[in-house]
């Protein structure tokens, strides 16, 4: 198979070796657990965290004579995901048996899709920042397959156990083209894919629970040159580990090549403790699995009408949402990217920003609210300050009722005590003083108390800042700064 290289080498990504520069080539196979109440071919529950072997039917345990029946919802989820990846949906696909032995695989084969997957080519866009821009990573395919069970070796020194709760759970394997060129891009790709899946509601993206895991193929080459031999790092379950594993693996391959050696195609494991990858087994080939069509299952066929119906019901996806937020609310690309990182954040922002100054709303949501939430380990879904309350705080600023500084205090009060922001401002006397008479009185007092400074300010007009500070302090931050400035200038003869 010849692989088309669609990327122009980016010098920022080059790795300096003893003999010159190198470039990474990376392709990912991501396993995403389908969000569905029951398994791919049985009615067993997919509930996480149940006692071992609680969710196991005769089909999942591969009892002789059992017949798999496809779960319609899992098919719909795969189609939705394909649509979200702008991919070709194949209205006819086939299930194959991938044969291998493992104690946690009682069937002796995994039902998967090989030659004819349910989803074909698509793409994912990564925003790599101002300098590098938007990078497109091609999707090769997405297919449905069963998960295996789990062997447990650490409960007893002389026995191993098998938990089949996972056996038969539906997975989507999403295979990228070898279009990724750095560990930063690989991390961005996993993150973006997870965001898209979560928006679609087709996978919860929970990497700690194993709902999303990546097999990472890494090779190195001279910039823009021929692809090198790759190694595959299995089952990486965190974005950070993915970055570390790639950096280590690329360096390992470069050292081998610069020593005059050859990279051996291998399956490797990443050890987060040492930060290293180590060999697990030599690479298996497709023929080792003796794939063949599963005689228990008919070809999977559906009408284009089903695809169209699911497409019509698709939620707005992150890229589209980002473009719309920039357009409708006039916020920066960066702010929009922060807001669309998850759907709840974007929704929260929109409830605050609707009918208000979009930029001011973005500042408050991202800097004040998200900053505070992160500090407390909370997320936007359990924010002590609601979108409505934050919107009211912004209204009070824009309406000239409170200064930006008082608004921060008000935010703190609403955060810890709750309540209606306008009432708090009223009852605690936090209202900004715009009444010129009251401000004039304070200004007169300050000038009278500081005759030396008042004399000097004519020669050194920048000293007015000091006076503004004094007046603001005397008014406990409540004086309208604009009015203070004007009155001071008039009274000091500036």
Give the interface with ligand ADP as residue ranges (CB under 6 A).
Answer: 25-29, 175-178, 217-219, 227, 230
Q: Kindly state the greatest CA–CA separation across the chain.
A: 101
We find the least distance from the C-beta atom of residue 231 to ligand ADP, in angstroms, to be: 9
62 Rama sector, left if φ>0, alpha if ψ -120 to 50, beta otherwise:
left
Please say whether the beta carbons of 95 and 74 come within 8 A.
no
Least separation in angstroms between CB 217 and ligand ADP = 3
Select 23 or 350, whichever has its Cβ closest to ligand ADP.
Answer: 23
What is the SS3 assignment for 351? helix
Cβ-based nearer residue to ligand ADP, 220 or 488: 220
Smaller CB distance to ligand ADP: residue 218 or 254? 218
Q: 446: exposed, middle or buried (C-beta count within 10 Å: 0-12, 13-18, 19+)? A: buried
Residue among 176 and 389 whose Cβ is closer to ligand ADP: 176
| CA gap 266, 278 in Å, rounded | 10
Per DSSP, which regions of 201-283 are E strands? 212-221, 231-236, 266-271, 276-282
Count the Cβ atoms, other than its own, within 10 Å of residue 336: 23
E strand residue ranges, 237-316: 266-271, 276-282, 292-293, 300-301
Q: Which lies closer to ligand ADP via its Cβ, residue 214 or residue 457?
A: 214
Q: What is the DSSP track for 421-487?
A: HHHHHHHTT---B--HHHHHHHHHHHHHH-HHHHHHTTT-GGGHHHHHHHHHHHTTT-B-HHHHHHH
The SS3 call for residue 54 is coil
Q: What is the spatial distance between Cα 218 and Cα 27, in angstroms, rounded to a whole number?
A: 7
Of 129 and 261, the one with the shorter C-beta distance to ligand ADP is 261
Least spacing, CB of residue 265 vs ligand ADP, in Å:
9
Q: Rounded to 5 degrees, what are φ and ψ at 470?
A: -65, -45
CB of 319 to ligand ADP, least distance (A): 22
Specify the residue for token string 């497109």.
136
- Taking the complex as a whole, the smallest distance from the CB of residue 229 to ligand ADP amounts, in Å, to 7
Give the nearest distance from C-beta 404 to ligand ADP in angstroms. 50
Q: How far apart are CA 302 and CA 291, in angstroms?
A: 24
To ligand ADP, the closest distance from the beta carbon of 266 in angstroms equals 12
Q: What length is written for the chain? A: 494
Q: Taking the complex as a whole, how short is the minimal distance between the CB of residue 9 and ligand ADP, in angstroms? A: 15
Q: How far is the CB of 37 from ligand ADP (least distance, A)?
A: 30
**402-418 residues labelled b (16+ CB within 10 A) or e (exposed):** bbeebbebbbebbbeee
Distance between CA atoms of 462 and 492, rounded to whole angstroms? Answer: 12
Structure tokens at 150: 């789990």
| Residue 117 vs 421, nearer CB to ligand ADP | 117
* Nearer CB in complex with ligand ADP: 146/217: 217
216 DSSP β-pair partners:
28, 233
Instruction: Please identify, using beta-carbon distances, which residue of 175 and 394 lies nearer to ligand ADP.
Output: 175
Name the residue number minimizing CB distance to ligand ADP: 27
CA 6 – CA 180 distance, rounded (Å): 10
CB of 203 to ligand ADP, least distance (A): 18
Minimum CB separation from ligand ADP for residue 180, in Å?
Answer: 8
Alpha carbon distances (Å) from 144 to 118, 161, 240: 7, 27, 26
Q: How far is the CB of 138 from ligand ADP (least distance, A)?
A: 8
Q: Which residue, 219 or 238, has its beta carbon nearer to ligand ADP?
A: 219
233/373 with CB nearer ligand ADP: 233
Distance CA 426, CA 232 (A): 64
Q: Which residue lies nearer to ligand ADP by CB, 130 or 226?
A: 226
């Amino acid at each position: 198979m010849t692989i088309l290289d669609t990327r122009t080498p980016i010098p920022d990504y080059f790795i300096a070796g003893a003999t010159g520069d190198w470039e990474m080539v990376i392709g990912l196979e991501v396993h995403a657990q389908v969000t569905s109440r029951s398994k791919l071919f049985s009615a067993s529950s997919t509930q996480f965290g149940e006692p071992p072997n609680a969710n196991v039917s005769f089909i999942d345990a591969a009892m002789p004579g059992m017949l798999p029946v496809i779960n319609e919802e899992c098919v719909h989820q795969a189609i939705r995901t394909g649509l979200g990846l702008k991919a070709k949906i194949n209205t006819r696909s086939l299930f194959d048996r991938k044969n291998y032995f493992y104690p946690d695989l009682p069937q002796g084969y995994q039902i998967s899709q090989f030659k004819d997957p349910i989803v074909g080519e698509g793409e994912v866009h990564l925003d790599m920042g101002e300098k590098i821009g938007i990078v497109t990573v091609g999707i090769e395919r997405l297919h449905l397959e069963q998960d295996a069970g789990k062997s447990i070796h650490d409960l007893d020194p002389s026995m191993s156990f098998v938990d089949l709760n996972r056996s038969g759970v539906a997975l989507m394997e999403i295979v990228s083209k070898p279009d990724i060129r750095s560990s930063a891009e690989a991390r961005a790709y996993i993150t973006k894919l997870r965001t898209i899946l979560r928006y679609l509601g087709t996978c919860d993206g929970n990497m700690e629970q194993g709902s999303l895991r990546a097999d990472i193929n890494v090779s190195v080459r001279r910039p823009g040159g021929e692809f090198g031999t790759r190694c595959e790092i299995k089952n990486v379950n965190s974005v950070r580990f993915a970055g570390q594993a790639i950096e280590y693996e690329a360096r390992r391959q470069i050292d081998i090549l610069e020593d005059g050696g050859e990279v051996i195609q291998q399956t490797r494991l990443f050890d987060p403790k040492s930060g290293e990858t180590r060999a697990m087994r030599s690479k298996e080939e497709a023929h080792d699995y003796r794939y063949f069509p599963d005689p228990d299952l008919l070809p999977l066929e559906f009408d284009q009408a089903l695809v169209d119906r699911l497409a019509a019901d698709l939620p707005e996806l992150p890229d589209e949402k980002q473009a719309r937020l920039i357009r409708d609310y006039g916020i920066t690309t960066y702010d929009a990217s922060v807001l669309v990182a998850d759907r709840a954040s974007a929704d929260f922002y929109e409830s605050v920003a609707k009918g208000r100054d979009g930029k001011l709303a973005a500042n408050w949501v991202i800097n004040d609210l998200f900053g505070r939430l992160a500090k407390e380990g909370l997320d936007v879904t359990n924010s002590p300050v609601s979108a409505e309350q934050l919107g009211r705080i912004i209204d009070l600023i824009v309406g000239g009722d409170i200064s930006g500084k008082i608004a921060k205090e008000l935010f703190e009060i609403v955060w810890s005590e709750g309540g209606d922001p306008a009432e708090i401002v009223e009852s605690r006397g936090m209202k900004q003083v715009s009444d010129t008479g009251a401000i004039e009185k304070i200004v007169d007092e300050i000038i009278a108390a500081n005759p030396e400074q008042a004399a000097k300010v004519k020669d050194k007009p920048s000293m007015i800042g000091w006076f503004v500070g004094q007046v603001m302090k005397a008014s406990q931050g409540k004086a309208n700064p604009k009015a203070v400035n004007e009155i001071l200038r008039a009274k000091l003869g500036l």
